[in-house]
Structure 1
Amino acid sequence: MGRTSPWWWLFAAIGVAVYLAVMFPGMTNGRQRIWVSCGPALCFVAAATYSTTYDTPLTGLLPLYCGAFLGIALGAVGHRKAMRAFMTWRAENPGKPDDEGPDVPWMLQMAFTLPVFLGGAIWYVSAY
């Protein structure tokens, strides 16, 4: 399967579904859920703009899109309670720096999963 295969549309949809399924339970209010749900749409607009500007097939960028959202989602897996505690604190303390809030253990996990998935996607796109 090449990087411009139409299968990447399915993989992109699955990646976004996994991202939303993992991230939504960690959000404590509607505003946070809207913010999280805008991520895939904004990234898709950025990918489409890049594709149009540089005359690159959009399906050729979908592996990067999948890698980014799966990396973020798997970086947050298992940390729902900690994420909710942080998001509750954040909603109650607008304007305060994030480092004053509760610990964010998922950031360490995300610091490893996101580069692995995105790095794998970058390798795949450049190799195929």
Structure 2
Amino acid sequence: MPDNTSPLWWLFAAVSVAAFVAAMLPGMVSRRQKIFISLAPVVPFLLLLGFAALYEESVTKWLPVYGAVLLAGALSVVGHWKALRTFMTWRSENPGKPDEEGPGTPWILQLTLTLPVFFSAAILYVR
């Protein structure tokens, strides 16, 4: 593992963003959904920048956490692309309805398993 100040973490972050977008984009059916998923990695990065500025920490030090969260999101839909596409089609056809009324979301279980594992490992590495 590279040191947590290594510039290789920027490459890891870029690969994580690409993996997240590549995994999620095929499941999106409308233009609005595709734009939302494409811009989704920006929000956690802005939070990371704010956190780093607030606590006077290096952004590079916390890039493993950023990348881990995005990779967990990408891995949560692996094997569930058809179900994701079905759900997103239902969402675009039924705007405003609660998600509970739509088709099931089997990738949520996968996310609840991958996110804590990846996030915990990244936090342990950073600290």
SS at match of 2:76: helix
User: 1:81 maps to what in 2?
Assistant: 82
Q: Within the alignment, does 1:96 sit opposite 2:88 as a pair? A: no
1:47-88 alpha-carbon deviations (Å, 9 max, x no partner): 111111211000011001011000010011111110000001
User: 1:54 maps to what in 2?
Assistant: 55
Letter paired with 2:22? A
Separation in structure 1 between the aligned mates of residue 117 and residue 28 of structure 2, nearest angstrom: 25
User: 2:26 maps to what in 1?
Assistant: 25
- Could you tell me how far 1:33 is from its partner in structure 2? 0.9
Q: Which runs of 5+ in 2 are unaligned?
A: none
Structure 1 window deviating more from structure 2 (34-43 vs 94-103): it is: 34-43
User: 1:10 maps to what in 2?
Assistant: 11
1:77-105 alpha-carbon deviations (Å, 9 max, x no partner): 11111000000101111111101100111
TM (normalized to structure 1)? 0.95
TM (normalized to structure 2)? 0.96
Q: Which runs of 5+ in 1 are unaligned?
A: none
- Could you tell me how far 1:108 is from its partner in structure 2? 0.8
Separation in structure 1 between the aligned mates of residue 40 and residue 6 of structure 2, nearest angstrom: 24
Letter paired with 1:28? V
SS at match of 1:76: coil
Letter paired with 2:114? T
User: 1:39 maps to what in 2?
Assistant: 40
User: 1:72 maps to what in 2?
Assistant: 73
Separation in structure 2 between the aligned mates of residue 24 and residue 68 of structure 1, nearest angstrom: 17
Separation in structure 2 between the aligned mates of residue 123 and residue 39 of structure 1, nearest angstrom: 25
Structure 1 window deviating more from structure 2 (33-42 vs 11-20): it is: 33-42
- Could you tell me how far 1:42 is from its partner in structure 2? 1.4
Over the matched positions of the two proteins, sequence identity in percent amounts to 51
